[in-house]
Amino acid sequence: MSSEPLLRVENLKTQFFTDAGTVRAVDGISFEVYEGEIVGLVGESGAGKSVASMSLLRLVERPGEIVGGEVTYKGETVFGLEEGPDGELREREEMLSNEAVRERIRGNEIAVIFQDPMESLNPVFTVGGQLREVIELNRGLSKEAARAEAIEMLREVGIPDPEERYEEYPHQFSGGMRQRVLIAMALACEPSLIVADEPTTALDVTVEGQIIDLVDELQAKYDTSFIWVTHDMGVVAEICDRVNVMYLGEIVEQAPVDELFHDTKHPYTRALLNSMPRPDRTVAELEPIEGVMPEAISPPSGCRFHPRCPDAREVCRRVHPEPEEVARADSHPHNAACLKHDAFDVGYDGSAPLEGDPRTTAGGSGGEGGE
């Protein structure tokens, strides 16, 4: 692994300005992706994973907006703000224009595999035609060459009779087959990074397994980096090299995958792991996470996880922890944003535990009263 990351995200903030108030969907996250690795972005739905991954390509739609932070890809500033002479934030000069992001980054440098294979392909164009258009656009190939490449990619992702199926429409493909098409589309652009946004969520388990094997195999072959967005710790264990755990718009733990599983440093990650079905455990042993994730529109004070945290103490209600390095593994830091670690030194040990059922102590934020 090289020392300079392929993608560096620093303190990224994306907010949605709705009538009900500002939703801080992504609230200052930082992470890196190095060449050839698969980085997981894990969390419950609503944690801000998808918004974060779309922010990397500046694909946030209104009323959402990236309001802060920096995204650097191969040394180029995809997004970056600086303070102007008048004290206002403004876009940095070296930030790529909309045109440049669209033409140079989207597709040919960073490609996306979408969540919903049933809806992501245009119903009125042939599968092959859609694939060809994307290849033409991102690789600068002629129509014929793009067509040949599209058929080749369909074969590559395991679609039988690719020549015939090239002419078919999306509704003639099963969900798993459509997801393969989407993977083919991403790979065909020969990007250095692929953002896979919960690509297997909509599929049934057997197909999910096939798709994951396929990605694993193709990733080894093409040496593409991946950001794998998921809520499924099982998938993370299977394919990711390093993992970022998100909770309510923030990254709460960041570590190489083995480290994360064996030396979990954040109570939320632990809760996620405990709620995961495993062959060595019965259903009765599953421990669902207590409570409901609060709305990002009015996050709890202090540590955002404290209303649901079994280890929460009085101090957690007051002090908001930023991720700190709490251990090191394979030259990668193991960061966690939990006050119980010594790195924080805010008097956690001396603080009184929060009383009672975690759900009832959800201070300041209604789990359900948001609307």
Partner 1 sequence: MGLLRYTGYRLLQAIPVLIGISVITFLLANLGPGDPVSLMLHGQEHDQELIRAIEQRYGLDKPLHERYVTYMSGLFRGDLGQSIHHNRPVADLMLDRIGPTLLLVLSAYAFALVTAIPLGVLAAKRRNEPTDHVSRLVALFGVSTPSFWIGIVLILIFAVTLGWFPSSGLIYPWRPPSTYRSIDGHLELYYESFRHLLLPMIALGTLQMATIMRVERTQMIESLQGEYVKLARAYGVSERTILRKHAFQVAQLPIITIVGLNLSTAIGGAVLIETVFNINGMGRLFINAISQNDYQLVMGITMMLGTLFVVGVIITDISYAYIDPRVTYGETD
Which residues form the interface with partner 1 (CB under 8 A)? 57, 59, 102-103, 105-108, 111-112, 114, 116, 119-126, 133-134, 137-138, 169, 171, 182, 185, 189
Q: Which is nearer to partner 1, 182 or 227 (CB)?
A: 182
Q: Which residues pair with 225 in a beta bridge?
A: 193
**Shortest distance, position 105 Cβ to partner 1, whole Å:** 8
**Shortest distance, position 91 Cβ to partner 1, whole Å:** 20
**Shortest distance, position 228 Cβ to partner 1, whole Å:** 16
**Shortest distance, position 183 Cβ to partner 1, whole Å:** 13
Structure token pair of residue 126: 């042939």
Q: Which is nearer to partner 1, 120 or 335 (CB)?
A: 120
Angle formed by the axes of helices 175-188 and 143-156, nearest 10°: 130
**Shortest distance, position 277 Cβ to partner 1, whole Å:** 29
Question: Cα separation of 174 and 180, whole Å?
Answer: 10
Residue with tokens 């593994």: 329
Question: Cα separation of 79 and 68, whole Å?
Answer: 9
Q: What angle do CA 116, 117, 121 make, to 5 degrees?
A: 110
Question: Cα separation of 130 and 125, whole Å?
Answer: 7
Question: Cα separation of 149 and 138, whole Å?
Answer: 12
What's the full length of the chain, in residues? 371
- Per DSSP bridges, beta strands 38-42 and 225-230 are parallel
**Shortest distance, position 298 Cβ to partner 1, whole Å:** 27
Helix (H) or strand (E) holding 61: none
**Shortest distance, position 114 Cβ to partner 1, whole Å:** 6
**Shortest distance, position 89 Cβ to partner 1, whole Å:** 25
Question: Cα separation of 190 and 132, whole Å?
Answer: 14
Residue with tokens 């060595």: 280
Q: Which is nearer to partner 1, 189 or 271 (CB)?
A: 189
Strand, helix or coil at 240?
coil
Detail the DSSP E strand segments found in 265-364. Answer: 324-329, 332-336
The dihedral built from the CA positions of residue 266, 269, 273 and 275, taken in this order, carries a sign that is positive
Residue with tokens 């970056």: 80
Q: Which is nearer to partner 1, 1 or 100 (CB)?
A: 100
**Shortest distance, position 124 Cβ to partner 1, whole Å:** 5
Q: Which residues pair with 39 in a beta bridge?
A: 227, 242
Question: For residue 267, which of 309, 237, 320 has the smallest C-alpha distance?
Answer: 309
Q: Which is nearer to partner 1, 53 or 351 (CB)?
A: 53
